[in-house]
Amino acid sequence: MSPRGLSRLGLPILALALVAGGLGCDPSTTADASDATADGGAAATSTPDAGAAAPDEVPGPILPERASEAPGVAAVFGGPGVGPSSFSYPRAIAFDGRDGGFYVVDRRAWVRRFDAEGRPVSQWQMPEHENGNPRHLKVGRDGNLIVADTHYYRVAVFSPEGVELRAFGERGQDDGKFLFVTGVAEDAATGDVIVCDYGDDVSRVQRFTAEGELLGAMGGLPGEEKGRFQRPMAAAVGADGRVYVADSCNHRIQVLDATLQNVLAVWEGFRYPYDVDVAPDGRVIVAEYGNNRISLLSPDGEPLWTHGRPGRGRDEVATPWGAAFVPGGDRALVTDSGNHRLVVLELP
Amino acid sequence: MNLPVHFGSPHLLLLLLALPAVVLLAKRSLAGLDPIRRTLAVALRLAVVGCLALALAEIEWRRVDDRLTVIFVVDQSLSIPPKQREEALRFVGEASGHLDPTTDEALLIVFGKDASIETKLVKNQTLPTISSVIAPEHTDVSKALRLALASFPQGSRKRIVLVSDGNETRGEMAKEVELARQQGVEVSVLPVHYKYANEALVEKITVPPQAKLEQPFTGRVVIRSFAKTDATLRLYLDGGLEETRAIKLEPGLNVETFQWSLGRAGFFSVEATIETPNDTLYQNNEAHSFVHLQGESKVLYVYGVEGESEPLLEALERERIEVEAIDATAFPFHPTELQSYDAIILDDVPSADLTKQQQSNIEYAVQHLGTGLIMIGGPDSFGAGGWIETPVEDALSVEMEIKSKKIIPKGALAMIMHSCEFADGNTWAVRIVQAAIDKLSKKDEVGVLIYDWQGADKWLFPLQPATNKARLKALCNTMPAGDMPTFDPTMKLAVNGLIKSTATVKHMIILSDGDPQQPSAKTLADAVKHKITISTIAIAPHGGPNGFEVNLMKKIASKTGGKFYLARDPRQLPKIFIKEAARVSRSLILEETFRPRLRHTGEVLKGFHPDDFPPLHGYVMTQTGPGTTKERAQVLLESHKGDPILAYWRYGVGKSIAFTSDARGRWAKDWLAWPKYTNFWAQCVRWASKELDDSPYLVTTSVKGNRGKLILDAVDEDGTFVNHLEVAGIARSPRDKRTKLKLRQTAPGRYEADFDADETGTYTATILTSEPGQEGGESFTTGIVFPYSDEFRRLEANPRGLARAAKRTNGQVIDPTAEGFELASLFEHNLSAEEAFLEGWPWLLALAIGLFPLDVFVRRVMIDYEKHWARFIGVFARILPGGGGPRPPRQATGTLGRLMERKAEVRDERLPSTIAAAGAAAAKRFEARVAADAPGAKSGDQGKSKGKAPAAGAAGGDGGPPKEERLYTSRLLDAKKRALRGQRRPSDGDEKK
């Protein structure tokens, strides 16, 4: 090849190489610290160690001012990681009705508190988390946290700063005891605590006083019939005392009366509903782990609106474990667990 | 004469005499050309001829090079103590101070076993250390000298300065020295002297080559020490420390003896090492040898199930066969430990209980050491024990996979993978599923179920035959890792799939941490109803071994007849999965009552009759016969279905027997009371056991450098040579590297093979002789000891060889401490210079070739040189101040215009003959590139006219038309006319030029 011919060939090749190199070395390409496998959800395969104590930077508010009336994603916050703005498979979320602040629990057993605008305020780690981390929590009427301490077979109450105030429950199949505690809810009127648990030949909902005295129960052996459950994952108490239970492996929500004696309604059409919450106006929101979406229902259980489909994009979710109404009921906050982030939804 | 130019064949210079002849010839042949062109052409021709003549005469330019190249060749091998090695480098550094960069060049070559050019030396070079890698455990001076000789540039004077102790362990220096002398290279030497003050080394260790078991034998260790010192002597047997002794060494040779008696038979390497406080070289502190112990026959018996081996063990004991009974966990890891056994019995041992390396050692022992192998059947043996495609299967006389039956027994396996929550869970899941697939036979069915995070409980791939294992394994790589909410959907899918399958054995494996919701009672009931067994494996359950998740998973397994496993560590998983997958091959077990049929007695069953054998109640199906790899195997007993019960064959040096029923109460309960039970097993074991070697053949070995040689002398008892044997073997290094050997016959009865050894120590070699076409033969095991390099043995300088080298090449023996020694003398230009010649013929030839076409060009191509020259000048005239005006361009147009006019005129003239017109046309063709602006060109009569046209008129007054212009073309035209008319007289105006 003549020299001229070589250079004619070489220059385009060189140019191509430079372009390709520039593209390839893009550091900001898909920061997927979460696994790169085809799935979107589950395993962060490494066990992240406990992060810092209090946040040293104060990021901006998660919950923006109401920008538009259109329902949909208002904001997305977080991503995989261990810093104050990051989450590691967040699951449970609960709002403090008094000041609008909220708490998020992730898979590293960190309980993180945010203010009403969504700024991180503090965080603490569950005292015992070797066996596992709590799957659910609610803020009681006195501002304390009621935590479903799943793998320790108990319900524990903590102060907002993480001081354990009291706990009740022990492992057992009999009523009054627990296997995997998966859901808690407080009846604000009476202070009673509703607890869901499941395990070996057990799937039930129980009602206790604040001190842990058993008041009633529904369920027992798992089943598909009305009044039986298969892996109830969450409960919520409405203003009228009704109890809504996310009966996940039966793919339905069961609505019980306050005494847990009667089933008032059974709402079907979900896929592995893992969390349920009630707004002051009676609307119900459900986080569907299997359908990768959030469903909004009327007080009668009629579907009003859904959001989300499987994926990582802004309008998508991956195996969401939790959903809660922002106090007031016109917005909801969702733990988009598989995407390690929180999603703020503007509700219709 | 010292001319710069030299001729190789000066007589050919006579060719130059041809030059005048060229001129003369040219005068004739080039007459037609105009002067300029003619001169040019002649000049070119002269040049071409001249060049050719000189080239033929082999003209050469002579160059006398006053350059000097000194190459320092420095020995950096380990026989020279470190201090002296550094001093050698320092010496070279100092010498480089006398380098004159304008005329001198110097290189440094360092060598050990290899030689390498370390660097080009600059003036005042410092050499703290060397960076070349030269394998310093040997000294190869000849290689270094060879490299030096090849590294000298052409034309310079050459000197080598060799710094060495003269202790060569490889190669022969003398040959290279002679080459150097022939090439005019001076070799000066600097002998390195040293003395080891405190060195101790082990000269050798001797032990008798053969010894008897339990009888003491004596070994001796010879140690040479340079000083009086304390020392520690250690003696090793097969790598294990046997004895440590504190001894005192005197200067000179010391001998230590030891007596050992060994309780194990076999081939053992023996090693002695010495340690002294002030030792300088460690490489010579060890010596190796080997000893061969003959012992009584001993059998290694491995049982799979504890407590059921008594019948067989007692039977063998009664026959006085020595047996060592162990379970699989105690199986030896090291191949040499198998040497002490004459046979290995695997009684219902699953393959998962032995590592791949252990299985490979068994195969090696059978094939190369002659150890016997007996596999006894049971629910965990043969194919049902997962021995498919293992090295042990290769050594056995049956194949584990059944291909030839009409209804091929097959199993179906479904695997539910819920593994995402522990570290690297997904990677492990993929790996263990792939391992399980490998263990299945191609006819078995397999399927995998998962929870896909996008919401589906589904098959990753549905139940299907494992014919294309690679494809299925590749599908596993796409396994998503979803946290399964409940077992029921996937279990239902699996159960339904298994119900539909026609497999005889249906099995499911569930891997999980136990979190998912339990399956419904109906699903489990369906599984039980359709005989689907479910094994569960709990990995990292949240509640630990006592958590209820574990209970849940245990319940699933126990309800369905499967097994529960608690895996604390993912590394336990592959073994569990393989074991569970092998359960599917339970389909290979046939439990029916039958009487084994005797096909032949062979050697094994001598003395047995067909009616002797009591019934059996089950066996594992295996296969031999045409179409399998076990065609050679002989089946002595077969089942009612024609499957092998007892089959044997020879494998390499050894023999193996497969007995596919068992030897205890489960399938052979009627045999336990059989009086011939003892005889049966004793005969089997004895037949399979290693044969004693009392062969008259002799094996000897020899070692030269790092090459070992094996010689077999095959002479039989009568003293006749045994020829045409096939002799092959394996040599194993101390670090278990294996080299195949093939011994070739080199003399009557003599077979030899060589191999390279790069490790020090005892190599083991086993060879097997066989006569072509016959089975079996003699086997021999022997050892070959490769001691440490001589580099570490001699430990004194050898200056004589060096001095000889210097003398032969007129070099000096350098002694830096001597009076009057000048370092600068190394760079003295006192060597005879080499003459270099640059040959001239290529250039001259090229020039001639280039000029020749030019000559042709000049003669043939019409270029108006004058016009171009004028134009050229004109350009400069314009540029230069005061130059002439731009005359030529105007002239050009003017001339061209005139030319065209003239052309038109001529046409109008109506030439009288068409021929003339044709001639004109023809002439026009020759009107090559006439520059219209040259003064003479406008004589429009570029030949087309008859040449008689008033050229002067057409010229327009710019001086007469130059005659040269119209000459050629007009002449051509005339000639054409003449030819056509047939006339011979020259036309008018024709001038001979």
Q: Which residue of A has its CA nearest to B553?
A: A200
SS (H, E, C) chain A: CCHHHHHHHHHHHHHHHHHHHHHHCCCCCCCCCCCCCCCCCCCCCCCCCCCCCCCCCCCCCCCCCCCCCCCEEEEEECCECCCCCCECCCCEEEECCCCCCEEEECCCCEEEEECCCCCEEEEEECCCCCCCCCCEEEECCCCCEEEEEHHHCEEEEECCCCCEEEEECCECCCCCCECEEEEEEECCCCCCEEEEEEECCEEEEEEECCCCCEEEEEEECCCCCCCCCCCEEEEEECCCCCEEEEEHHHCEEEEECCCCCCEEEEECCCCCEEEEEECCCCCEEEEECCCCEEEEECCCCCEEEEECCECCCCCCECCCCEEEECCCCCEEEEEEHHHCEEEEEECC
| ipTM for the assembly | 0.79
Q: In this structure, are B49 and B191 located in the same domain?
A: no
Which residues on adjacent β-strands are paired with residue A199? A202
Mean pLDDT, range B659-677, rounded to an integer: 90
The answer to whether position B262 is within a domain reads: yes
Least confident span in A155-159, A196-200, B347-351, B579-583: B579-583
State which H helix or E strand residue B161 sits in: strand B157-164
Taking 70 as the threshold, does the pLDDT of residue B954 lie above it?
A: no
What are the tokens at A281?
């106006």
Interface test with B, best of A249, A252, A272, A295 (most B CBs within 10 A): A249
| Torsions phi, psi for B648 (to 5 deg) | -140, 160
Give yes or no for a contact between B898 and B957, defined as CB atoms under 8 angstroms apart: no
In this prediction, residue B694 carries a pLDDT of: 62
Per the CB < 8 Å rule, is B486 touching A319?
no
- CA dist A275 and B318 (Å) reads 74
Taking 70 as the threshold, does the pLDDT of residue B139 lie above it?
A: yes
Q: In this structure, are B137 and B278 located in the same domain?
A: no
Which strands, in side-by-side order, build the sheet including A136-139?
Answer: A136-139, A145-149, A154-158, A164-168
Give yes or no for a contact between A217 and A201, defined as CB atoms under 8 angstroms apart: no
- CA dist B293 and B316 (Å) reads 24
Residue type, B951: A
Give yes or no for a contact between A23 and A55, defined as CB atoms under 8 angstroms apart: no
Residue type, B710: L
Which residues on adjacent β-strands are paired with residue B768? B728, B779
At which residue do the structure tokens 């000849």 appear? B142
What are the tokens at B235?
């003696």
Which residues have CB under 8 Å from B462's CB, separation 6+? B447, B497
Residue B661 DSSP SS3: coil
Per the CB < 8 Å rule, is A199 touching B478?
no
Taking 50 as the threshold, does the pLDDT of residue B790 lie above it?
A: yes
Q: In this structure, are B579 and B457 located in the same domain?
A: yes
Q: In this structure, are B167 and B234 located in the same domain?
A: no
Give yes or no for a contact between A297 and A285, defined as CB atoms under 8 angstroms apart: yes
Mean pLDDT, range B372-395, rounded to an integer: 89
Per the CB < 8 Å rule, is B455 touching A271?
yes
Of B539, B424, B418, B515, which Cα lies nearest the Cα of A44?
B424
In whole angstroms, how large is the CA radius of gyration of chain A? 23
Confidence of residue B984 (pLDDT cuts 50, 70, 90): low
The answer to whether position B991 is within a domain reads: no
- CA dist B75 and B164 (Å) reads 5
What are the tokens at B693?
């070697």
Q: In this structure, are B669 and B612 located in the same domain?
A: yes
For residues A104-117, one letter each, b for 16 or more C-beta atoms within 10 angstroms of the residue's C-beta and e for the rest, the string is: bbbbbbbbbbbbbe
The answer to whether position B750 is within a domain reads: yes
Q: In this structure, are B466 and B542 located in the same domain?
A: yes
Least confident span in A320-324, B482-486, B796-800, B852-856: B796-800
The answer to whether position B867 is within a domain reads: no
Measure CA B112 to chain center.
25
Confidence of residue B862 (pLDDT cuts 50, 70, 90): confident
Which strands, in side-by-side order, build the sheet including A284-288?
Answer: A273-278, A284-288, A293-297, A303-307
Which residues have CB under 8 Å from A174's CB, separation 6+? none
For residues B65-104, one letter each, b for 16 or more C-beta atoms within 10 angstroms of the residue's C-beta and e for the rest, the string is: bebbbbbbbbbbbbbbbeebbebbbebbbebbebbeeeeb
Domain count, chain B: 7
In whole angstroms, how large is the CA radius of gyration of chain B? 49
Give me the residue from A45, A199, A318 closest to B425, CB to CB: A45
Q: Which residue of A has its CA nearest to B421?
A: A43
Taking 80 as the threshold, does the pLDDT of residue B863 lie above it?
A: no
Q: Which residue of B has its CA nearest to A130?
A: B542
List domains and CATH numbers for chain A. Answer: 74-346 (2.120.10.30)
The answer to whether position B866 is within a domain reads: no
Q: In this structure, are B420 and B546 located in the same domain?
A: yes
Give me the residue from A40, A45, A171 closest to B424, CB to CB: A45
Confidence of residue A246 (pLDDT cuts 50, 70, 90): very high
- CA dist B348 and B660 (Å) reads 10
Bridge pairing between strands B186-191 and B157-164: parallel
Per the CB < 8 Å rule, is B483 touching A42?
yes
Q: Which residue of B has its CA nearest to A179?
A: B548
CATH number at residue B419: 3.40.50.410
Q: In this structure, are B595 and B581 located in the same domain?
A: no
User: Residues in chain B whose beta carbon is closer than 8 A to a beta carbon of chain A?
Assistant: 420-421, 423-427, 452-455, 478, 480-483, 485-486, 488, 515, 517-518, 520, 542-544, 548-549, 551-552, 555
Residue type, B252: G
- CA dist B319 and B678 (Å) reads 7
Q: In this structure, are B552 and B457 located in the same domain?
A: yes
Instruction: Encode pLDDT of B160-193 as tens digits.
Output: 999 998 888 878 888 899 998 888 888 999 988 8
The answer to whether position B992 is within a domain reads: no
Instruction: Encode pLDDT of A41-52 as tens digits.
Output: 333 333 333 333
DSSP state of B616: B
CATH number at residue B745: 2.60.40.10
The CA-CA-CA angle for residues B957, B963, B965, to 5°, reads 95
Instruction: Encode pLDDT of B632-657 as tens digits.
Output: 888 999 999 889 999 999 888 889 99
Least confident span in B303-312, B333-342, B797-806, B977-986: B977-986
Q: For B771-796, give the DSSP string.
A: -TT---EEEEEEEEEE---GGGT--S
Instruction: Encode pLDDT of A160-171 as tens digits.
Output: 888 999 999 999
State which H helix or E strand residue B175 sits in: helix B173-182
The answer to whether position B883 is within a domain reads: no
Q: In this structure, are B479 and B577 located in the same domain?
A: yes
Which residues have CB under 8 Å from A34's CB, separation 6+? A44, A80, A338, A339, A340
Q: Which residues of A touch B452 (CB under 8 A)?
A: 39
The answer to whether position B406 is within a domain reads: no
State which H helix or E strand residue B559 sits in: helix B548-560
Measure CA B947 to chain center.
84
Bridge pairing between strands A180-186 and A164-168: unpaired
Of B358, B357, B364, B263, which Cα lies nearest the Cα of B302?
B358
Q: Which residue of B has its CA nearest to A270?
A: B455
- CA dist A110 and A130 (Å) reads 12
Instruction: Encode pLDDT of B922-941 as tens digits.
Output: 555 555 444 444 444 444 44
- CA dist A21 and A25 (Å) reads 6
In this prediction, residue A222 carries a pLDDT of: 93
Q: Which of B294, B328, B363 is the last residue of a domain?
A: B294
Residue B805 DSSP SS3: helix
Dihedral sign from CA coordinates of B843, B846, B852, B858:
negative
Q: Which residues of B touch A289 (CB under 8 A)?
A: 485
Higher pLDDT, B681 or B891: B681
Give yes or no for a contact between A270 and A264, defined as CB atoms under 8 angstroms apart: no
In this prediction, residue B939 carries a pLDDT of: 43
Q: Which residues of A touch B420 (CB under 8 A)?
A: 42-43
Within 10 angstroms of residue B459's Cβ, the number of other Cβ atoms is 17
Give me the residue from B483, B544, B548 closest to A179, CB to CB: B548
Bridge pairing between strands A214-220 and A232-237: unpaired
Give yes or no for a contact between A324 and A94, defined as CB atoms under 8 angstroms apart: yes
Least confident span in A158-162, B541-545, B939-943: B939-943
What are the tokens at A203?
């799937």
Q: Which of B567, B588, B609 is the last residue of a domain?
A: B588
In this prediction, residue A42 carries a pLDDT of: 37
Instruction: Encode pLDDT of B756-785 as tens digits.
Output: 888 888 888 888 887 777 665 677 778 888
Bridge pairing between strands B707-713 and B750-756: antiparallel
Dihedral sign from CA coordinates of B76, B79, B81, B82:
positive
Per the CB < 8 Å rule, is B485 touching A151?
no
Of B291, B192, B165, which Cα lies nearest the Cα of B764?
B291
- CA dist B860 and B854 (Å) reads 10
Bridge pairing between strands A193-199 and B217-225: unpaired
Q: Which of B520, B554, B588 is the last residue of a domain?
A: B588
Residues spanned by the domain of B969: 893-981
Which residues on adjacent β-strands are paired with residue A296? A285, A305
Bridge pairing between strands B343-347 and B372-376: parallel
Dihedral sign from CA coordinates of B718, B720, B725, B731:
positive
Q: In this structure, are B471 and B532 located in the same domain?
A: yes
- CA dist A95 and A324 (Å) reads 7
Q: In this structure, are B112 and B206 located in the same domain?
A: no
Maximum mean pLDDT: which of A261-265, B165-169, B961-965: A261-265
Per the CB < 8 Å rule, is B423 touching A290?
no
C-alpha atoms less than 13 angstroms from C-alpha of B274 in its C-beta half-sphere: 32
Per the CB < 8 Å rule, is A171 touching B548?
yes
Which residues on adjacent β-strands are paired with residue B254? B223
